[in-house]
């Protein structure tokens, strides 16, 4: 019989991004806690824009952040158009960027005591959708609604909202994970901000169907049971090197964007009962994400 950990109540406040736990180095105090004045530096630039970041001025950038009393910022690693803002070996660098803009911004921020999260798009990545049309979300009629509407539009029609949607499933998920690994290994980041997570709409493309068929063939009991509200999500990680389990809880109210629903805001989550069913006895030690 597998030992069970009795149910307990986990109190947490979910956040947009994941913090990176850095071992083997002593961090300055400002990097050991969440920023209290955080901004999102939106920077979605298409391939039609030239000389990306060519006028970046480190001193001016720093003075602007100090004038706004900013102590935490999201800067872009990869935007909705699919281009990366650093020399990536996994993804594709923005064609009109000729230096490591991500690194320059990270260094500028840390010099003045500002935490840095790398922004990374999930649900919208135009270049990936163009290169891999089989990754694009399909509705129950096997239609990519956005692409069809765009093809049928007249030149004088207003541009439709959004782009083709991608779900984080294999093999697109492999790209996301490999590029995330590249970022955390090569850059001194304080976190990753994943954006546009598709939620709530069944995906009928080849890869989603394949994943679902494989999942349905499994005869397993869940390792974790959580009494979350509807649309709640859980993720249990077994970090063997640290001899611990990490449980992430997420509850969000999705917003309809075209044919899919996406998460744009997170709400606090309190008093969520959790039950584990694990194959070994472990010490119960709970940390709360701030």
Asked if 270 and 280 count as a contact pair (C-beta separation under 8 A), the reply is: no
Residue 59: how many other CB atoms lie within 10 Å: 8
Instruction: Answer yes or no: do 133 and 262 share one domain.
Output: no
Chain CA centroid to CA 175, Å: 13
Mean pLDDT of the 236-251 span: 76
Instruction: Answer yes or no: do 101 and 123 share one domain.
Output: yes
Which DSSP state fits 113?
Answer: T
Instruction: Answer yes or no: do 185 and 102 share one domain.
Output: yes
What mean pLDDT value characterizes the chain?
81
Give 90's contacts (C-beta < 8 A, 6+ positions apart): 175, 178, 179, 182
Instruction: Answer yes or no: do 178 and 226 share one domain.
Output: no
- Give the Cα separation of 270 and 190 in Å (integer): 25
Distances from the Cα of 136 to the Cαs of 103, 139, 143, 203, in angstroms? 31, 10, 10, 9
Instruction: Answer yes or no: do 174 and 45 share one domain.
Output: yes
Give the pLDDT score at 235.
Answer: 74
Which DSSP state fits 181?
Answer: H
DSSP-derived pairing of the beta strands 260-262 and 255-257: antiparallel
Instruction: Answer yes or no: do 32 and 10 share one domain.
Output: no
**What are residue 277's DSSP bridge partners?**
4
- Is the pLDDT assigned to residue 266 strictly greater than 50? yes
Instruction: Answer yes or no: do 209 and 230 share one domain.
Output: no
Could you tell me the pLDDT band of residue 282, with boundaries at 50, 70 and 90? low
Mean pLDDT of the 91-96 span: 98
Task: Tell me the per-residue pLDDT of 196-214, one tens digit each, with 9 for 90 and over.
Answer: 988 778 899 999 988 888 8
DSSP-derived pairing of the beta strands 38-40 and 198-199: unpaired
What is the residue range of 278's domain? 1-16+219-290
Number of domains in the chain: 2
Instruction: Answer yes or no: do 87 and 140 share one domain.
Output: yes
**Given 172, 191, 218, which residue is the final one in a domain?**
218
Instruction: Answer yes or no: do 214 and 124 share one domain.
Output: yes
Give the pLDDT score at 167.
Answer: 93
The residue behind tokens 């001194």 is 188
- Is the pLDDT assigned to residue 272 strictly greater than 80? no
- Give the Cα separation of 258 and 162 in Å (integer): 8
**Given 188, 218, 248, which residue is the final one in a domain?**
218
Which DSSP state fits 240?
Answer: G
- Is the pLDDT assigned to residue 5 strictly greater than 60? no
Judged by DSSP in three states, 176 sits in helix
Mean pLDDT of the 95-116 span: 97
58-67 and 101-111 are packed helices; what angle lies between their axes, rounded to 10 degrees? 50
Mean pLDDT of the 244-252 span: 74
Instruction: Answer yes or no: do 1 and 137 share one domain.
Output: no
Nearest to 41 by CA among 123, 119, 126: 119
Instruction: Answer yes or no: do 1 and 101 share one domain.
Output: no
């Amino acid at each position: 019989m597998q030992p069970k950990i009795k149910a307990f109540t986990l109190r947490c406040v979910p956040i947009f991004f994941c913090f990176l736990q850095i071992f083997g180095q002593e961090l300055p105090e400002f990097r050991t806690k969440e920023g209290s004045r955080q901004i999102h530096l939106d920077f979605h630039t298409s391939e039609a824009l030239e000389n990306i970041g060519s006028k970046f001025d480190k001193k001016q950038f720093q003075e602007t952040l100090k004038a706004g009393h900013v102590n935490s910022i999201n800067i872009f690693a990869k935007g909705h158009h699919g281009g990366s803002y650093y020399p990536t070996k996994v993804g594709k660098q923005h064609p009109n960027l000729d230096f490591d803009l991500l690194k320059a911004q990270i260094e500028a921020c840390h010099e003045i005591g500002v935490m840095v999260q790398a922004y990374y798009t999930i649900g919208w990545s135009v270049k990936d959708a163009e290169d891999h049309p089989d990754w694009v979300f399909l509705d129950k009629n096997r239609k990519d609604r956005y692409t069809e509407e765009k093809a049928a539009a007249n030149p004088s029609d207003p541009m439709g909202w959004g782009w083709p949607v991608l779900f984080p499933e294999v093999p697109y998920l492999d790209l996301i994970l490999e590029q995330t690994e590249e970022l955390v290994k090569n850059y001194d980041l304080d976190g990753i901000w994943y954006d546009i997570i598709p939620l709530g709409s069944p995906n009928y493309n080849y890869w989603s169907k394949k994943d679902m068929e494989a999942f349905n063939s499994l005869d397993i009991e869940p390792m974790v049971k959580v009494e979350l509200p509807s649309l709640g999500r859980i993720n249990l990680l077994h970090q063997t090197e640290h001899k611990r389990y990490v449980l992430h809880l997420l509850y969000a109210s999705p917003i309809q964007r075209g044919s899919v629903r996406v998460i744009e805001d997170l709400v606090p989550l309190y008093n969520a009962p959790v039950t584990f069913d694990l194959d070994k006895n472990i010490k119960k030690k709970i940390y709360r994400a701030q």
